[in-house]
Chain A
């Protein structure tokens, strides 16, 4: 076990200690025990920058299930490190924030921090695993811990609903991804990501390629809340705000982004990948930003905004994948999309994290998150207002914040799509910049709504539960740090470019790099009067215009009927599945044993007949049959007549007597086929069972003792005739198909010689195959005890009288 393994597993190990710490240090907020861990991990991961910036990687492996090719192998490269830094860095800030946000008296802190640590460890595992199965395990652990965190206030119905919804959707995606992993394993024969990347050419040409790709994308899209799977994210906002900030903006929802980025070298050579990732990303981008405008809850705005921004990163990754086809980095003309994706990934984590914390502060200090009740908070909460301004303006893409830079690069990437001449991008590619631009207008719009509807306008004290005031300093530390990062990255973007962005790009597009080469990333604020600049200006102008006239056109949101919304579809679908499956179950599970017997027997006929026909197994061979004697014919006649008469008997007594007659005739058959022991036993048993039948018959209740014939049912008749026919046919065929002689000669020779008996049947029963006899004795014992227990044990007797 290396230090790196310990680093990944340390959150899980600390989670074990949390209950003890919580119990024994009651007066200290449990979060303080947590805080050092992500901070230390952050420091630990920082030192890897010196490794990855030269394109090197660190690989550590720990045997787990080596026989199946599953090893706990961890790899640090540019991409993994970027995510690890995000997870630990924002993790530390979120823990700090939650210490002030959650009250130790009212909340169950131990469970909260255990879930959070589980999540942190799982997320580190996802981004650093080099083994797909390990990645999947951690992936499911993130779904699971996210489920627990969303449902943290489990007394609230909405929390449980949101938790269930996110669980269903992300686990659906997770399982799809497992399918993809297994298909990939079939193709490549390895679970290792690095080896898979090396074999990408074989993967692309394999017939299973498209299925694998779609399954992987299902996993990524559900996790990263891409259209149409984004619906769980807004409902996940029922979680405590630190959770929303951490999981649902900065880390977990980026696991899908991570997966797409990680798998780009494997899949990106196909047009399907480029179109799906970029197309779905752009749709999500537009739909998310469009839907965010109509929200009235601050967290819902941020949730849809997260959806939208994730779509943006996703589309950039898709377009960046197309760059692989140009095979050169010299001009860096097309790979700008990947740069933008990585850069925006960082930016989004910073400003969205801070915005969620700001929302939490507003909620905490006013008692509401409803935008219609808020207003004019600027004077009460100046610091929070400043933070909100920084966050939203960065989100909207206004200089000098970092969002501006990534948005410019986003436009650049989108504009260059239209120039590409592969995968029919030259015809439809023009849609990308158009949609992207209109989505940016809406992004600008909801950013403005977020900040100005909350902090400016009329102060409405009568609608607020508390008198608003500035948050405590501890709560402000984390958003202040994040907001300063927004500004620092905005003004000095090149701090990141060589240390983080370039190595991450190296992991996404490794095939473009020769040995020792690295991407030359240079981000600058000012690059002349380019089309991108005018696009940004257009966004700002149109966005402001729309914001001013907001009340006049919001009616368009009511045009789209609620009935057709995806949430309605999900709820209705879930209900429909339940109702339909209940109804289907009701139709065939009707509680009648008769019906089940019909199923069993018809299936028996079906299976056996199909097999016989399919295998052409029916064969009649009379070469070694014994001659039929008249006496046997008579016996058969007696038996058949008795058996058939049972069906038409009017009284039960007649049936029992006839059944006895059948039994005795069988005994007679045993006699003429020379089986004295069988005949003896059969006679005794038959007598006893006839007596038992009489007993049962006597105890039938008086009321429903209508002695009538069995009613005729055509299905039953057909099925019984079918079963009889099929069994007869099989018996005849199996007799005609004798493959080898029986082993009975051995018994004939050795019954006396080896076992010292003359009765061969009995010797077989107690000597050669005594084990069967032993357990048949057991069966009889159990039956006797069971009968005794059933007669004697009357546990409901007392209750019935009450």
Chain B
């Protein structure tokens, strides 16, 4: 019973991800895509969590944390790229 509920949840999350993928593909602006990607990342967190309950293991907890961090870093990087055109500024001394 519990498993069924979990499977249903995973399925819904997958459908949500399909919707997000649609947004990634369709656009129309890059910002839409980036936000969609970020949302996919967070959905992944949920999927991994549900799957690890399903598989009855705690081996995937690291992954949940990691996705969280990466999704954040990735979104920030994209955002910076969209705004400034660079991700990392080379000019350490700030002369330029």
The finding on whether chains A and B are genuine partners in a shared complex, rather than unrelated, reads yes
CB-contact partner of A695 in B14, B55, B87, under 8 A = B87
Q: Is A785 an interface residue (CB 8 A)?
A: no
Contact A634 B15, beta carbon cutoff 8 Å: yes
A620 at the interface (CB under 8 A from B): no
Tell me, yes or no, whether B94 is within 8 Å of chain A by CB. Answer: no
Assess whether B14 is in contact with A635, with CB atoms less than 8 Å apart. Answer: yes
Give Cα A687 to B77, complex, Å.
Answer: 10
A641-B21, A657-B37, A694-B87 given; A630·B11 CB < 8 A: yes
Query: Which stretch of A21-29, A180-188, A239-247, A675-683 is in the interface?
Result: A675-683
Contact A694:B10 (CB < 8 A) given known A664-B40, A664-B44, A680-B66: no
B74 contacts which chain A residues (CB < 8 A)? 660, 687, 690-691
Residue of A nearest to B37 (CB): A657
Q: Which residues of A contact B73 (CB under 8 A)?
A: 687
B62 within 8 A of A: yes
Residues of B within 8 A of A249 (CB): none
CA of A678 to CA of B30 in the docked complex: distance in angstroms?
30
Contact B30 A674 (CB under 8 A): no
Dominant secondary structure of chain B at its interface with chain A:
helix
Known: A654-B33, A671-B48, A684-B66. A631 touches B55 (CB 8 A): no
1/0 contact string of A689-729 vs chain B (CB within 8 Å): 01100110010000000000000000000000000000000
* Chain A residues, CB < 8 A from B52: 671
Contact B37 A638 (CB under 8 A): no
B64 to chain A: closest CB distance in Å?
10
Chain B residues contacting A14 (CB-CB under 8 Å) are none
- Does B70 belong to the interface (CB within 8 Å)? yes
A683 to B44, CA, bound (A): 11
Question: Which listed residue (A638, A657, A664) contacts B18, Cβ 8 A?
Answer: A638
- B1-45 contacts to A (CB < 8 Å): 7, 10-11, 14-15, 17-18, 21, 24-25, 27, 30, 33-34, 37, 40-41, 44
Q: Tell me, yes or no, whether B53 is within 8 Å of chain A by CB.
A: no
Interface string of A54-85 (1 = CB under 8 A from B): 00000000000000000000000000000000
In chain B, residues 66-95, which have Cβ atoms closer than 8 Å to a Cβ of chain A?
66-67, 70, 73-74, 77-78, 81, 85-87
A690 to chain B, nearest CB (A): 7
Number of A-B contacts (CB under 8 A): 93
Residues of B within 8 A of A680 (CB): 62-63, 66
In the assembled complex, the Cα of A660 lies from the Cα of B62 at a distance in Å of: 20
- Complex Cα distance, B89 from A565, in Å, reads 75
Question: Which of A629, A674, A687 counts the most B-chain CB atoms under 10 A from its CB?
Answer: A687
Binary per-residue interface labels of chain A (627-671) against chain B in the complex, 1 for a CB within 8 Å, 0 otherwise: 001110011011001100100000001100110110010011001
Is A683 a contact of B57 with CB atoms below 8 Å?
A: no
Chain B residues, CB < 8 A from A671: 47-48, 51-52, 60, 63
Q: A671-B48, A679-B60 are in contact. Are A634 and B66 (CB under 8 A)?
A: no
Q: How many of chain A's residues have a CB under 8 angstroms from any CB in B?
A: 33
Question: Among A634, A674, A683, A694, which residue has its beta carbon within 8 angstroms of that of B55?
Answer: A674
At the interface, yes or no: A488 with Cβ under 8 Å from chain B?
A: no
The count of residues in chain B whose C-beta lies closer than 8 Å to any C-beta of chain A is: 39
- In angstroms, Cα B33 to Cα A661, docked, is 11
Assess A668 versus B21: contact at CB under 8 Å? Given A654-B27, A676-B60, A694-B77: no
| A668 to B46 alpha-carbon distance, docked (Å) | 11
Residues of A within 8 A of B24 (CB): 642, 654, 657-658, 661
Are A668 and B44 touching (Cβ within 8 A)?
Answer: yes
Cβ of A787 under 8 Å from chain B: no
Residue of A nearest to B18 (CB): A638
Provide the bound-state CA to CA distance between A657 and B81, in Å: 13
Inter-chain contact B30/A683, CB cutoff 8 Å:
no
Residues B30 and A653 in contact, CB atoms below 8 Å apart: yes
In the assembled complex, the CB of B45 is this many whole angstroms from the nearest CB of chain A, namely 11
In whole angstroms, how far apart are the Cα atoms of A679 and B73 in the complex? 18
A691–B25 contact, CB under 8 A?
no
For the complex formed, measure the closest distance between the CB of A680 and the CB atoms of chain B, giving whole angstroms.
6
Min CB distance, A337 to chain B, in Å?
Answer: 91
Which residue of A631, A658, A679, A683 contacts B25 across the interface (Cβ within 8 Å)?
Answer: A658
A642's nearest neighbour on chain B, judged by CB, is B21
Contacts of B37 in A (CB 8 A): 657, 660-661
Residue in A closest to B85 when the chains form the complex, CB atoms: A698
Q: A672 contacts B59, CB within 8 Å?
A: no
B60 with A668: CB separation less than 8 A: no
Q: Is the Cβ of B63 less than 8 Å from the Cβ of A679? A: yes
The one of A645, A676, A687, A698 that contacts B81, using a Cβ cutoff of 8 Å: A698
| A691 touching B21, Cβ below 8 Å | no
The docked-state distance in angstroms from the alpha carbon of A637 to that of B73 is 27
Contact A641 B25 (CB under 8 A): yes
State the Cβ distance, A628 to closest chain B Cβ, in Å: 13
Q: Are B21 and A661 in contact (CB under 8 A)?
A: yes
Closest to B22 in A: A641
Query: Shortest beta-carbon distance, A689 to chain B, in Å?
Result: 11
B90 vs chain A, min Cβ distance (A): 11
**A683–B67 touching, CB < 8 Å:** yes
Other-chain residue from B14, B30, B34, B87 in contact with A634 (beta carbon distance below 8 A)? B14
Closest chain A CB from B57 CB (angstroms)? 7
Assess the B63–A631 pair: CB atoms within 8 A.
Answer: no
Residues of B within 8 A of A694 (CB): 77-78, 81, 87
Top-4 shortest CB links A-B: A634-B14, A676-B59, A687-B70, A645-B25
11 contacts between A and B (CB under 8 A): A630-B7, A638-B14, A638-B17, A642-B21, A653-B30, A654-B27, A658-B24, A664-B44, A676-B63, A679-B60, A684-B66
Question: Assuming A634-B15, A661-B24, what are 5 further A-B pairs, CB within 8 angstroms?
Answer: A631-B14, A657-B24, A658-B24, A680-B66, A683-B63
